[in-house]
Amino acid sequence: MSRRRALGVIGVGAAALTGCGVPGRSAPATHSGGAPAVRPKPVVPTGDWASVQGGMKKVTDTVGQIQGYASKTSVSRGESIDFHLSSHLAQTCRVDIHRVGRGDGPGTRRLMTSTPFPVRPRTRPTPASGTGLIACDWPVSWTLRIPGSWESGIFLAVFTTQDGYRSYTPFVVRDTGRRSDILMVVPFTTYQAYNLWPHDGHTGRNRYRGYTPAGVWGGIDDRALKVSFDRPYPESGLPHWFALDTSAARWAESNGYDITYASSVDLHEGRIDPSNHRVMMFSGHDEYWSREMRDCAEQAVSAGTHLAFLAANNIYFQIRVEDSAEGRASRVVTCYKETADPAPGPTGPTVRWRQLDTDHRRAEQGLLGVQYNGILKKPAPLVVRESRHWFWSGTGLRDGDEIPDLIAVEADGFDPAMPRPAGTKQTLLSASPYADRLGRGRTVQNTSLCVNKKGTFVFVAGTFYWPLALGDPRHFNPHVQRATRNLLTRMLEHSGK
């Protein structure tokens, strides 16, 4: 099975993984002695979060009882954002706006509710010939002007119909004019690459697969080469692996960090000034990067802003972020992968970053210190290395100790055949063997920390479950929390500027 096919299977079969909590178990690290393990702090979901997640009838892509998308991935205070909705019948709908985190435990806080307004069925587009692009042209159903009192964060627009169905779409409220200790970048370009809408048996496709004319899931020949933000996310409307970002956000805010938010499209469009932040945190699965996005991250390191990547498989494919057919900016993510790119442009074809040059000089490891090296058959323990390093301080862990089931889904590792960040000292904080799902035998995951001569850090967790261990009650792990606090404390105390 190829990686593309495996990821397509994950995308179709992981409906339970797209919400703001991913089923799983958490366990303390195992070790033979030393300091006692850190005790976990209980986390209980709030009432408002429960009301967002449940209590209404299930939305399906086949029927499309209520689904919608936002006109932007992010919006500033004082600006407006439009929502484009379609219902399975003519009726009324209301919108509740919720914010994730900030004093709300693992839940959300409802900030406002609209008055009911009419919705009705809208035409579902067919994939464009040649590229497979699915882009809706639904009219605006409701517009929100962001109040000046709202703080930057991850938001959900919650759509509830008169006949009892509910779905969502996410967006970010940004505050790029404010300095903050941490800027969290939410990976909307990767959300869209994995978007299977509509998963209806004949239409949907993403960057991995799509339906054949016979109505069955095909392979790479049926995938989309271009994907649009002008469409809902599947079923309830939460992006694939949205849980990673909401978990990290809830944890960071509950610990009192000074944090603002942006989307990956903001990174692409040049709205982010890295010098306004001590740390740029990439909280989730952040696989699809444009040249502009990578330039911003590299400029951040050069300017002394630390980078923290909390998951795995980062900066893997180069993309172009293009305008819609109607001229709306940055509404299409283009990535041809193995298919010949008809318009590479000055940044080269939309392939893996490590394939752009014969000497692999633009491989992701050249910035990050590690890079994607496999998909796991099942979760594996993180095996601790360099336990005397300040990163592991206060955890009670020793070399060889294991944090159960922390390495999951995809993993990163150090590849000695690839470039590494120039002029840096690298510490590999874990060495975790795992069985690869694609039949490549056993390989090793590494959590990595690189420090350049100016004292600027680049951290990569190297596993999908790291952010879940921070703020998801079903994956909670105190060792991961302590290590991440150690990391951010050191980053905030030691400016690389």
- Cβ distance 463 to 312 under 8 Å? yes
* Other beta carbons within 10 Å of 368: 24
**pLDDT higher than 60, residue 28:** no
Compute the C-alpha angle 475/239/276, nearest 5°. Answer: 85
Report the CATH number that the domain containing residue 423 is assigned in CATH: 3.40.50.880
Any domain includes 117: no
Q: How confident is the model over 139-176, as pLDDT tens digits?
A: 999 999 999 999 999 999 999 999 999 999 999 999 99
Distance from C-alpha of 134 to C-alpha of 128, rounded to nearest angstrom: 7
> Whole-model pTM?
0.90
**Cα–Cα separations (whole angstroms), residue 35 to 113, 392, 394, 487:** 50, 12, 8, 20
Average of per-residue pLDDT across 184-209 = 95
Across all residues in the chain, what is the average pLDDT? 89
Distance from C-alpha of 488 to C-alpha of 455, rounded to nearest angstrom: 14
Give the pLDDT confidence score for residue 13 in this predicted structure.
33
- Cβ distance 46 to 490 under 8 Å? no
Which residues are CB-neighbours of 294 under 8 A, at least 6 positions away?
315, 353, 367
* Of 371 and 11, the one with more pLDDT: 371
In the 8-state DSSP scheme, what is residue 37? P
**Model confidence band, residue 266 (pLDDT cutoffs 50, 70, 90):** very high
**Model confidence band, residue 17 (pLDDT cutoffs 50, 70, 90):** very low
Q: How confident is the model over 102-112, as pLDDT tens digits?
A: 654 446 789 99
Burial of 42 by CB count in 10 Å (0-12 exposed, 13-18 middle, 19+ buried)?
A: exposed
User: Could you identify the residue written with the tokens 């392979």?
Assistant: 219
Any domain includes 151: no
- Cβ distance 271 to 174 under 8 Å? yes
Any domain includes 99: no
Query: What are phi and psi for residue 110, nearest 5 degrees?
Result: -80, 125
Distance from C-alpha of 196 to C-alpha of 10, rounded to nearest angstrom: 11
- Cβ distance 26 to 408 under 8 Å? no
Distance from C-alpha of 378 to C-alpha of 356, rounded to nearest angstrom: 31
DSSP string, 408-433: -SEEEE--TTS---TTEEEEE-B-EE
Give the pLDDT confidence score for residue 459 in this predicted structure.
98
157 token code pair: 């627009």
**pLDDT higher than 50, residue 253:** yes
Give the pLDDT confidence score for residue 219 in this predicted structure.
81
204 token code pair: 């949907």
Any domain includes 68: no
Q: For residue 435, give the 3-state DSSP assignment.
A: strand
- Cβ distance 369 to 458 under 8 Å? yes
Q: How confident is the model over 399-415, as pLDDT tens digits?
A: 999 999 999 999 999 99
**Percent of the chain, pLDDT > 70?**
87
Please report the sign of the dihedral spanned by the C-alpha atoms of residue 223, residue 228, residue 230, residue 234: positive
Q: Is the peptide bond before 419 cis (omega within 30 degrees of 0)?
A: no
Query: What are phi and psi for residue 247, nearest 5 degrees?
Result: -65, -45
The structural domain count of the chain equals 1
Distance from C-alpha of 214 to C-alpha of 201, rounded to nearest angstrom: 9
46 token code pair: 């709030």
Distance from C-alpha of 271 to C-alpha of 42, rounded to nearest angstrom: 38
- Cβ distance 80 to 146 under 8 Å? yes
Any domain includes 343: yes
Side-chain-side CA neighbours of 145 within 13 Å: the count stands at 3
**Model confidence band, residue 35 (pLDDT cutoffs 50, 70, 90):** very low
**Model confidence band, residue 54 (pLDDT cutoffs 50, 70, 90):** low
* Cα end-to-end distance, the chain, whole Å: 46
Average of per-residue pLDDT across 476-483 = 97
Any domain includes 100: no
Any domain includes 63: no
Distance from C-alpha of 188 to C-alpha of 265, rounded to nearest angstrom: 7
**pLDDT higher than 70, residue 27:** no
- Cβ distance 448 to 396 under 8 Å? no
Distance from C-alpha of 262 to C-alpha of 71, rounded to nearest angstrom: 15
Any domain includes 120: no
Give the pLDDT confidence score for residue 497 in this predicted structure.
63
Where in the sequence is the domain holding 219, given as residue range(s)? 3-55+176-493
**pLDDT higher than 90, residue 115:** yes
**Model confidence band, residue 192 (pLDDT cutoffs 50, 70, 90):** very high
Distance from C-alpha of 385 to C-alpha of 157, rounded to nearest angstrom: 43
- Cβ distance 172 to 74 under 8 Å? yes
Please report the sign of the dihedral spanned by the C-alpha atoms of residue 268, residue 271, residue 275, residue 279: negative
**Model confidence band, residue 494 (pLDDT cutoffs 50, 70, 90):** confident
Buried b (16+ CB within 10 A) or exposed e, 278-317: bbbbbbbbbbbbbbebbebbeebbeebbbbbbbbbbbbbb
